[in-house]
Amino acid sequence: MRQRLSVEAYVAGVLAADRVVLSRAITLVESQLPADQPLAQEVLERVLPHAGRSLRLGITGVPGVGKSTFIEAFGKYLTGQGKRLAVLTVDPSSQRSGGSILGDKTRMEELAHDPRAYIRPSAAGTSLGGVARRTREAMLLCEAAGFEIILVETVGVGQSETVVRGMVDFFLLLMLAGAGDELQGIKRGIMEMADAVAITKADGPLAAEARRAQAEYQNALHLFPPAASGWVPQVLTCSALERTGLAELWHLIQKYHQSTLQTGYFEQNRRAQALDWMHDYIRQALEERFRRHPEVLRQLPATEKAVQQGHELPLAAARRLLALFLK
Amino acid sequence: MRQRLSVEAYVAGVLAADRVVLSRAITLVESQLPADQPLAQEVLERVLPHAGRSLRLGITGVPGVGKSTFIEAFGKYLTGQGKRLAVLTVDPSSQRSGGSILGDKTRMEELAHDPRAYIRPSAAGTSLGGVARRTREAMLLCEAAGFEIILVETVGVGQSETVVRGMVDFFLLLMLAGAGDELQGIKRGIMEMADAVAITKADGPLAAEARRAQAEYQNALHLFPPAASGWVPQVLTCSALERTGLAELWHLIQKYHQSTLQTGYFEQNRRAQALDWMHDYIRQALEERFRRHPEVLRQLPATEKAVQQGHELPLAAARRLLALFLK
Ligand SMILES: Nc1nc2c(ncn2[C@@H]2O[C@H](COP(=O)(O)OP(=O)(O)OP(=O)(O)O)[C@@H](O)[C@H]2O)c(=O)[nH]1
Ligand SMILES: Nc1nc2c(ncn2[C@@H]2O[C@H](COP(=O)(O)OP(=O)(O)OP(=O)(O)O)[C@@H](O)[C@H]2O)c(=O)[nH]1
Ligand SMILES: [Mg+2]
Ligand SMILES: [Mg+2]
């Protein structure tokens, strides 16, 4: 086990935006060691009053759509505007292949060396949905370190988009135009969760296609039910390669920010998210406890099979397993 | 407490499609009295081998869209085709106003007296999402009674659509055309869950509007990600008043049924649903236990407030409450 710092050292380092300490603090809150929990909790509690004052952006898109390249370009645009930006990547696939993170080192090279930016690739989560277990806490630490924009990236696997959507203020879907590729691999329900869709790689021969797709999607999103925020999702085009469309996107995000601040939705959503966050933890912890119970662990595989094959009633099976756990 | 029958009497009555016994069996499985549970479970287990051989249809739409009138018309069409049909209505609002169910008595009058049809309005559920707690079990009982088509109706409130979507083979969204009403009250994410959208009340002056809306939505749905079933959602128009579009809809549903049977998706989806069903119960039971714990009950309101207002960390609050429950 790596040596831990004192609570004071973590807190002072984070508040001073010391990247080394910030990284170590995130590692601490991500730790699954029971011994680390009280320290992690104390650090989080101490930084809490300094957290919350950022704009939280979620970005999703299928593998290869250009998320990393986009974040490099958009991130540089934002730091160029004088903003301080933290990027948290939540990659459920990185558990299997280390390639992704290595690739990102090259794809985000400029941003990685930008003094106004901080990039934290998180290994895959073990929690439900494959999302890094402590991305939300990492976000608080970054906010306490003074980052004004937190960008949470996720690839569309499992439930990760839903989980990320539940921790950000604005959710952006990156898509491709051309030859039906638009839809390749995007899960149902994601489009209706997006506050904006950016058709990326809108350069060279794909530029015209991108504009056509933009019009089509803008039309389609118009037919969707309105969001609770009252915001009508917008579709833009951009190119991370040519660095076009980035100012327009930032303008749009700011417009969303201002309008939801005005209506009170921004604050209301943050409060609802905090509450969901608590209930999610409780649900997860209860389920983990249940699943780790030795007798449940032993009987679950056969029970799941029996239920799937229709040999046992779901309700009866649930009761039987619950009885093992609760007695 | 109403007098119960013997297991044998319930099972024999249900299998003989005796409506009075079927209704009493559904009341039994819906019962929350602990004393009823073993009997309910035994009845369900005994009918299980006879269940599962129906086509399960889910229908949703905002209040007033015309669900009850549609079900009357579509139901009569189906029984006219020689089908036996059970209708389970799941109405989260009926807890508050008894009006809805009373209204349905008039709106489904013909169907209610049809010997091939069985209608069961369920009072509001107390479970998460406001769905009747035992709709899934009621469905099994209706199947054992030989109903070939089970129609589960829900109004778009809370999580009820998601829950109903998780227990049916085919999910139909009823919508209105005209003056932006299409979107009135439909929750985000529902459109992407639908296997078909029916623009209803396509009669009189609204017929032209309905056809326009049909074309628009068909276009939009085309831009959605493909469903796991491989099925591309279709948009139709219909009128419950003039009884038009019903044959086309039934044709479409049959096409879906056949194609998913062929690809194996139908069976695969049923198996996945059964498993989810078990896990849903477990999750609900664990949460209910947790929420009913006296100390949790006492501390939850203040804790929720503190978390919403940012005075306590969601993670810390969750741990504190869990400690009360688990110790
Ligand atoms: N022409 C063009 N190519 C781009 C653009 N953005 C990214 N690419 C290329 O698309 C490929 C994938 O880009 P990435 O940024 O790695 O995509 P990703 O979404 O992060 O992929 P994963 O990390 O695997 O999920 C790379 O070869 C990029 O060079 C762009 O704006 N225009
Ligand atoms: N013109 C026309 N009116 C219809 C049609 N179907 C229903 N209506 C009318 O629309 C109104 C609402 O119909 P209902 O069937 O009660 O609607 P519902 O969706 O069941 O409403 P709730 O039960 O309150 O959720 C009634 O006045 C119906 O007569 C139709 O096909 N054409
Ligand atoms: Mg990447
Ligand atoms: Mg009705």
Q: Which residues, 6+ apart, have CB-to-CB distance to A245 below 8 Å? A: A198, A202, A236, A237, A238, A239
What's the mean pLDDT in A255-265? 96
**Cβ–Cβ under 8 Å, residues B59 and B65:** no
In ligand 2, which atom is closest to the CA atom of B153? 20
Beta bridge pairs of residue B200? B176
* CATH code, A238: 3.40.50.300
**Are residue B166 and residue B283 in the same domain, yes or no?**
no
Residue given tokens 């688990």 in the structure block? B326
- CA A229 to CA A268: how far, in whole Å? 10
B77 to chain A nearest CA, in Å? 30
Q: Among partner residues B45, B185, B193, which is closest to A313 by beta-carbon distance?
A: B45
Domain that holds residue A26: 1-50
Other CB atoms closer than 10 Å to residue A88's CB: what's the count? Answer: 27
- Asked, for residue A268, whether it belongs to a domain, the answer is no
- Which uninterrupted H or E stretch holds A152? strand A149-155
Highest mean pLDDT among A85-99, A178-192, A232-246: A232-246
**Are residue A139 and residue A230 in the same domain, yes or no?**
yes
pLDDT at A128 over 50: no
The pLDDT-based confidence of A54 (bands split at 50, 70, 90) is very high
- Which uninterrupted H or E stretch holds A259? helix A246-263
Please give the pLDDT value at position A284.
Answer: 87
The pLDDT-based confidence of A109 (bands split at 50, 70, 90) is confident
pLDDT at A35 over 50: yes
Other CB atoms closer than 10 Å to residue A254's CB: what's the count? Answer: 12
**Ligand 2, residues B62, B68, B95: which to mutate, most atoms within 8 A of Cβ?**
B68
Counted domains in chain A:
3
Q: Over pLDDT 70: what percentage of chain A?
A: 88
pLDDT tens-digit readout, B101-158: 555 666 788 999 999 999 998 765 555 444 567 889 999 999 999 999 999 998 766 6
- CA B111 to CA B108: how far, in whole Å? 5
B318/A193 CB distance under 8 A: no
Q: Which residues of B touch A307 (CB under 8 A)?
A: 274-275, 277-278
- Asked, for residue A69, whether it belongs to a domain, the answer is yes
Question: What would the two tokens of residue B326 be?
Answer: 């688990």
What's the mean pLDDT in A230-240? 93
End-to-end Cα separation, chain A, in angstroms: 36
- Asked, for residue B146, whether it belongs to a domain, the answer is yes
Highest mean pLDDT among A61-75, A169-183, A307-321, B70-84: B70-84
Residue given tokens 């929420």 in the structure block? B291
- Asked, for residue A134, whether it belongs to a domain, the answer is yes
Please give the pLDDT value at position B98.
Answer: 38
- Asked, for residue A133, whether it belongs to a domain, the answer is yes
The residue out of B242, B263, B284 marking a domain boundary is: B263
Which residue type does B218 have? Answer: Q
Tell me the three state secondary structure of residue A185. Answer: coil
Q: Which residues, 6+ apart, have CB-to-CB distance to A270 below 8 Å? A: A52, A169
**Cβ–Cβ under 8 Å, residues B76 and B164:** no
SS3 per residue for chain B: CCCCCCHHHHHHHHHCCCHHHHHHHHHHHHCCCHHHHHHHHHHHHHHHHHCCCCEEEEEEECCCCCHHHHHHHHHHHHHHCCCCEEEEEECHHHHCCCHHHHHHHHHCHHHHCCCCEEEEEECCCCCHHHCCCCHHHHHHHHHHCCCCEEEEEEECCCCHHHHHHCCCCEEEEEEECCCCHHHCCCCCCCHHHCCEEEEECCCHHHHHHHHHHHHHHHHHHHCCCCCCCCCCCEEEECECCCCECHHHHHHHHHHHHHHHHHHCHHHHHHHHHHHHHHHHHHHHHHHHHHHHCHHHHHHHHHHHHHHHCCCCCHHHHHHHHHHHHHC
Please give the pLDDT value at position B51.
Answer: 93
The pLDDT-based confidence of A255 (bands split at 50, 70, 90) is very high
What's the mean pLDDT in B166-172? 95
Q: Which residues of B touch A322 (CB under 8 A)?
A: 282, 285-286
Between A7 and A222, the higher pLDDT residue: A7
**Are residue A204 and residue A81 in the same domain, yes or no?**
yes
Please give the pLDDT value at position B126.
Answer: 52
**Are residue A38 and residue A88 in the same domain, yes or no?**
no
Pocket of ligand 1 (CB under 6 A): A 61, 63-69, 100, 103, 107, 155, 200-201, 203, 239-241
- Asked, for residue A312, whether it belongs to a domain, the answer is yes
Residues 96-155 of B with CB under 8 A from A: 136-137, 140
Phi, psi angle pair for B62, to nearest 5°: -65, 160
A11, B63, B207, B308, B312 from A49: Cα distances, Å: 12, 44, 58, 14, 10
**CA A286 to mean position of chain CA atoms:** 23
Question: What would the two tokens of residue B220 be?
Answer: 């939009």
pLDDT at A173 over 90: yes
The pLDDT-based confidence of A18 (bands split at 50, 70, 90) is very high
Q: Over pLDDT 90: what percentage of chain B?
A: 64
Report which DSSP code applies to A61. E
- CA A162 to CA A310: how far, in whole Å? 30
**Are residue B40 and residue B72 in the same domain, yes or no?**
no
pLDDT tens-digit readout, B27-73: 999 888 889 989 999 999 999 999 999 999 999 988 888 999 999 99
**Are residue B77 and residue B174 in the same domain, yes or no?**
yes
pLDDT tens-digit readout, A150-162: 999 987 666 778 8
Please give the pLDDT value at position B207.
Answer: 92
**Cβ–Cβ under 8 Å, residues A21 and A13:** yes
The per-residue pLDDT of chain A, averaged, comes to 88
- CA A241 to CA A127: how far, in whole Å? 35
**Are residue B318 and residue B184 in the same domain, yes or no?**
no
Between B188 and B157, the higher pLDDT residue: B188
End-to-end Cα separation, chain B, in angstroms: 36
* Burial grade of B12 (CB within 10 A; 0-12, 13-18, 19 or more): middle
Please give the pLDDT value at position A249.
Answer: 98
Across A13-17, A87-91, B90-94, least confident range: B90-94
**Are residue A149 and residue A252 in the same domain, yes or no?**
yes
The pLDDT-based confidence of B24 (bands split at 50, 70, 90) is very high
**Are residue A177 and residue A238 in the same domain, yes or no?**
yes
- ipTM of the shown complex: 0.83
- Asked, for residue A271, whether it belongs to a domain, the answer is no
Beta bridge pairs of residue A86? A118, A150
Please give the pLDDT value at position A97.
Answer: 41
- CA B327 to CA B325: how far, in whole Å? 6
A109 to chain B nearest CA, in Å? 33
What's the mean pLDDT in B192-201? 92
**Are residue B144 and residue B39 in the same domain, yes or no?**
no
**Cβ–Cβ under 8 Å, residues A181 and A220:** no
- Asked, for residue B114, whether it belongs to a domain, the answer is yes
Please give the pLDDT value at position A230.
Answer: 85
**Are residue A22 and residue A168 in the same domain, yes or no?**
no
* CATH code, A5: 1.20.5.170
Rama region for B46: left / alpha / beta (φ>0; ψ in -120 to 50; rest)? alpha
pLDDT tens-digit readout, A293-303: 999 999 999 99
**Are residue A172 and residue A108 in the same domain, yes or no?**
yes
Question: Angle at CA B98, nearest 5°, toward B97 and B99?
Answer: 85
